[in-house]
Amino acid sequence: MNMAIYLDHAASTPVHPEVRQAMLPYLDEYFGNPSSLHRFGRDARQAVDEARDKLAGALGAEPGEIVFTSGGTEADNFALIGAAMAGRKRGKDHVITSAVEHHAVLETCRHLERIGFRVTYLPVDETGEVRLDALREAIDDRTALVSVMYGNNEVGTLQPVEVIGEIAHGHGALFHTDAVQAFGYEPLNVRELPVDLLSVSSHKINGPKGVGALYVAKGVSLIPHMFGGSQELRRRAGTENVPGIVGFGKAAEIAAASRREHVEQARRCRDAMIRVWEKEGIDFVVNGHPRRHLPHILNVSFPGTETEILLMNLDLEGIACSSGSACTSGTLEVSHVLKAMNLPEEVLRSAVRFSFGRGNTVEEVTRAAETTARLVRRLTGQMAG
């Protein structure tokens, strides 16, 4: 039997059975529009409010600080464009981000450049950590916003967000962090972080796709980017995705309650794979920060192989993993994250990302690692150790 092993949780995760269960009534009898004043509307409104409470609870925020969006991408777009446009009104025309952000941030920054903002893309060191000296040098009193992700989706490196936030605030700039990958793994508490804006996404934490949220700290004003009705406290127009929001609320609640367990299991899976390759004596390099990294992401290069060929062969063996970012796979383009880390060519060209999640077992990842080792040997002509 050839059961597939899913090791691509950084791309998306399966919907938790309790999440699915929580959503079903909102696809059936509770179909009302939350803006309607009748009973159908009130039921839907209540469900959205409860989901907002749950998400706020998971982040340490007030419910009024949560804006539901269509996903992590929209949360990032709203944070960057909303804060940049608000800054422009106060004579600020500069945005700082990093070279290793998700495309949802990077492409939004390209858009900001096209409409007249200056954008600084901070370099990173070989572990993927943002160079703080470069931040201190780039920031000035015309900087509207600093946006640096909490944990990287390709290599898992955690950024020093506390320090970055302090530096931003020291210059009167807002601080946004894309915490899509960190949510559910890191103890995110917006009360204890110097952060004004924080993005999360539902489908990375066993919730449904097409829903996310932006935390907007009380007192921070953003220029809206969606126009229409007065939904989401007048911050984001459009009829709410009620089933999605309900599912996201449930997923956030479960993620917060089972975080430690989740972290431990991911760590065990990560360690198990590395142990297999060490034992097998194959040539491999783990990319990212050796200690300060997300527990569920393992980016590894097998020098002498090529990413695309390795992925194809792994897929044939029933192992689903990725080259890093789902948005760039299918093309031979080298990862912008690994490139920014200045890794040697053979490391760049042979990187694959395994990412763990709910349901993964040490047994199956061990099998996956053994299969990977066998493929790497075959592809590089190495003899069995």
Ligand X SMILES: *Cc1c(COP(=O)(O)O)cnc(C)c1O
Residue 153 binds ligand X (CB under 6 A) = yes
- The CA-based dihedral angle spanning residues 84, 100, 8, 212, taken in that order and rounded to the nearest 10 degrees: -10
Element (H, E) at 255: helix 242-257
Is 316 exposed, middle or buried (CB count within 10 Å of its CB: 0-12, 13-18, 19+)? exposed
**Catalytic residue list contains 109:** no
Residue 296 binds ligand X (CB under 6 A) = no
Residue among 77, 143, 159, 201 that touches ligand X (CB under 6 A): 201
How many residues interact with ligand X (rule CB under 6 A)? 15
The 113-152 contact track toward ligand X, x by CB under 6 A, reads ------------------------------------x---
- How many CA atoms lie less than 13 Å away from 207 in the CB half-sphere? 33
Contact segment (CB under 6 A) with ligand X among 18-26, 41-49, 67-75, 262-270 equals: 67-75
Residue among 15, 104, 144, 164 that touches ligand X (CB under 6 A): 104
Residue 244 binds ligand X (CB under 6 A) = no
Per-residue CA distances from 234 to 69, 154, 175 (Å): 13, 34, 22
How far is residue 234's CA from residue 26's CA, in Å, rounded to a whole number? 23
For residue 354, give the 3-state DSSP assignment. Answer: strand
Residue 161 binds ligand X (CB under 6 A) = no
By beta-carbon distance, which residue lies closest to ligand X? 72
Contact segment (CB under 6 A) with ligand X among 38-46, 199-207, 303-311, 337-345 equals: 199-207
Backbone φ and ψ of 260, nearest 5°: -60, -45
Q: Where are the alpha helices (DSSP H) in 69-131?
A: 72-88, 103-114
The minimum distance between CB 212 and ligand X, in angstroms, equals: 5
The minimum distance between CB 99 and ligand X, in angstroms, equals: 14
The 27-66 contact track toward ligand X, x by CB under 6 A, reads ----------------------------------------
Contact segment (CB under 6 A) with ligand X among 72-80, 220-228, 254-262, 328-336 equals: 72-80
Residue 178 binds ligand X (CB under 6 A) = yes
How far is residue 345's CA from residue 349's CA, in Å, rounded to a whole number? 6
For residue 351, give the 3-state DSSP assignment. Answer: strand
Residue among 32, 34, 71, 288 that touches ligand X (CB under 6 A): 71
For residue 119, give the 3-state DSSP assignment. Answer: strand
Nearer to ligand X, 212 or 249 (CB): 212
The minimum distance between CB 187 and ligand X, in angstroms, equals: 18
Element (H, E) at 298: strand 297-301
For residue 130, give the 3-state DSSP assignment. Answer: strand
Backbone φ and ψ of 261, nearest 5°: -55, -45
Backbone φ and ψ of 320, nearest 5°: -100, 110
Name 145's bridge partners: 95, 174
Contact segment (CB under 6 A) with ligand X among 16-24, 29-37, 174-182, 283-291 equals: 174-182
The minimum distance between CB 64 and ligand X, in angstroms, equals: 22
Catalytic sites, residue numbers? 327
List residues binding ligand X (CB under 6 A): 71-73, 76, 102, 104, 149, 153, 178, 180-181, 201, 203-204, 212
